[in-house]
Every structure is written in C-alpha cells, then in structure tokens.
Amino acid sequence: MSFWKNKNVFVTGCTGLLGSCLVKELIDQGANVTGLVRDTVPKSNLYQGEQVKQMNIVQGALEDLDVIERALGEYEIDTVFHLAAQAIVGVANRNPISTFEANILGTWNILEACRRHPLIKRVIVASSDKAYGDQPTLPYDENMPLQGKHPYDVSKSCADLLSHTYFNTYGLPVCITRCGNLYGGGDLNFNRIIPQTIQLVLNGEAPEIRSDGTFIRDYFYIEDAVEAYLLLAEKMEELNLAGEAFNFSNEIQLTVLELVEKILKAMDSDLKPKVLNQGSHEIKHQYLSAEKARKLLNWTPAHTIDEGLEKTIEWYKAFFQK
C-alpha cells in the first residue's frame, strides 16, 4: 500500500510546474490533496487530466494567514508541501517587494500556520540552489552558508533560514529542498530558457540567450524532482530528518549555450542561438552536490539531461498542436 493512501496533504503552488506534477502523483497514490490557488491559470498542467477533479481547491494567497490556517484546520492536514513562490529572477529584480511578500512573508505564514496546527506530521519547504548565492567553492553542499545577494536569491535564503528557525525554536517537523533549475513538460513560464528555446525553435526562430552564454546552471528534470520530494517526505519520521536541508540534482555542469545547443540538436534544428549578453544581477556559476541525498535517502535521479530534454520537447510539441 502506498505511504500516501488517505494522507491529508496541502500543496501550495499547485498550478506551477512542480506543484501540478506532485499533486497528480499524490492523487494517483491515494492521497487526499488540498491545493492553495491564487490565480486561475487555465493552461496549467494541473488542469490537464482527471486528477484535478479529485482534489480540494482553496482560493487564496500565501500572504493571507487566515486562509492558510482555515485550510489546514478544515481539511485536517497532516502533510504540507510549500512550493509556491514568485520564481522568476527577472520579475524579482523588477518587483522586489511583491517577490519578498510571496516568498518570505508567504513562507513564514505557512510555517506559523503549521506550528499552530496540531495534526502536522511533516512540512517540506522548497528553497533553491539560489539560496547559496555566489560561493568561492563549487559544487554547493548543504553546509555552505546561505548568502543570496539579489532579490530572488535573498528571498530564498530568507525562506530557508525561516524554516530552520521553526525547527530549532519550535520543533516543527520541516525539511528543506534545494534543487537546481527544474524543467519538463508543463512549465508555462516561457521566459525560462528551456521552454522558451523549444517554443522559438518550433516557430522556426533563433533561440535567444539573455546572458553571455557562459553562466553554469544545474538542470533537474521534473519527474525526478517529484520522486525526490515524495521520498524525502516519506523518510522524514523514519530517519529523523526534521530540520535537515537536501540538495537534489543531476550533478551536471552545463553552460546556457551548451544547454541550448543540446536542445537544437535534439530537435534536429540548424538554427543558431542569438547571444544577447544582457543578463545582470544573477549568479554566474551554480551546481549542486547531491551526495547527502544519495547517502541518507539512497536517492538517484532516473533521467539523464538528454532523456529529460527528449521527453520535454515531445510534451511541448503536443502542447502547441492543441
């Protein structure tokens, strides 16, 4: 029997890439899922398929503590996946206040509601590799300081530290995930490099690279991310992991230019990328060590970058044909 059968699970960010895929998997495994939804996003992956008909949807925002407390209480929630965030770096640079309200205030509201709710057994908070900021030594491991400098990175450093506070001060059973750049079918943020590149190539247009193309990033396929989140939540009590942070990663290093060239090759395109050299207020080099997850959770990703990109390209081809 699935660990998740009849568990009462609350998911924030369920119209996003990770949230929509996680919700579907939880429902398929028999969980009773309640999602917090601020904006209706009709094309969201959440609404593709039958699972959405089996979940409860609470309309509201992370900034509204009363809504969160009501949802946890009325739906007798025992597990929380806090995935919602303003997740676009460029938007954060232009709109820092709304980013801080969603990502910092929103996180402390979730944590405070969980602290007051007596049925909570496990809370997973999505931080990010960006929470580490620039580090002189790579790859990032979980013992490195959290030192974001720019609005999005700082918001994630703060959310991460708040989670530690609620464990260390109140004993809240919370774990933190720090993943690389998630990608996969269902991502409708077309200013992200992978969906944007695929969309442009399908339209016969040259892909654009905002930076100088040399930025190194960690790209992590969505199905592997869902498995990682579920495994961590399942093992929290058994392995006494509350208060711990985990990096999840393919542990590959790719420049943005190398990534775009992989996509072009996979799509049999002879288009050449345009390098705009406009990226600013971003971390130059980032990649994660997942050694801790391998050792403590016996976790490994199931997809290579090429396998993940292949499945992602097929999803977008079908999506744009609808």
Q: Evaluate whether 8-184+218-251+285-302 and 193-214+252-284+317-321 have a shared fold.
A: no
Task: Say what the pLDDT of residue 282 is.
Answer: 72
Token pair in block for residue 283: 């971390």
Three-class SS state of 104: helix
Task: List the beta strands (DSSP E) in the chain.
Answer: 8-12, 32-37, 56-59, 79-82, 122-126, 174-179, 181-183, 208-209, 216-217, 219-221, 245-248, 254-255, 274-275
List beta partners, residue 255.
216
Residue 314's contacts (CB-CB under 8 Å, 6 or more residues apart) are 185
pLDDT at 211: 86
Is 152 a known active-site residue? Answer: yes
Contacts of 50 (CB under 8 A, 6+ apart): none
pLDDT at 278: 78
- Tell me the domain boundaries of the chain: 8-184+218-251+285-302, 193-214+252-284+317-321
The Cα 250–Cα 220 span in angstroms is 6
Superfamily classification of domain 8-184+218-251+285-302: NAD(P)-binding Rossmann-like Domain (3.40.50.720)
Calculate the CA dihedral of residues 103, 107, 110, 112 and round it to 10 degrees.
Answer: -140
- Whether the Cβ atoms of residue 289 and residue 250 lie closer than 8 Å to each other: no
Pairing state between β 174-179 and 219-221 = unpaired
pLDDT at 206: 94
How far apart CA 252 and CA 179 sit, in angstroms, is 12
Local confidence pLDDT in tens for the 322 residues of the chain: 899 999 999 999 999 999 999 999 999 999 999 999 999 999 999 999 999 999 999 999 999 999 999 999 999 999 999 999 999 888 999 999 999 999 999 999 999 999 999 999 999 999 999 999 988 899 999 999 999 999 999 999 999 999 999 999 999 999 999 999 999 999 998 989 999 999 999 999 999 998 888 888 899 999 999 999 999 999 999 999 999 999 999 998 899 999 999 999 999 999 999 988 876 667 788 889 999 999 999 999 999 999 999 999 999 999 998 7
CATH topology of domain 193-214+252-284+317-321: UDP-galactose 4-epimerase; domain 1 (3.90.25)
CB distance 278 to 210 below 8 Å: yes
Beta bridge partners of 179: 248
Q: What is the pLDDT of residue 279?
A: 64
* Tokens found for residue 98: 């709304």
Whole-number Å distance between alpha carbons of 123 and 113 = 11
From the list 132, 152, 219, 221, the catalytic residue is 152
Beta bridge mates, 11: 35, 81
> Which residues partner with 178 through β-bridges?
247
DSSP letters, 132-154, are G-S-SSSSB-TTS-----SHHHH
Give the pLDDT confidence score for residue 22 in this predicted structure: 98
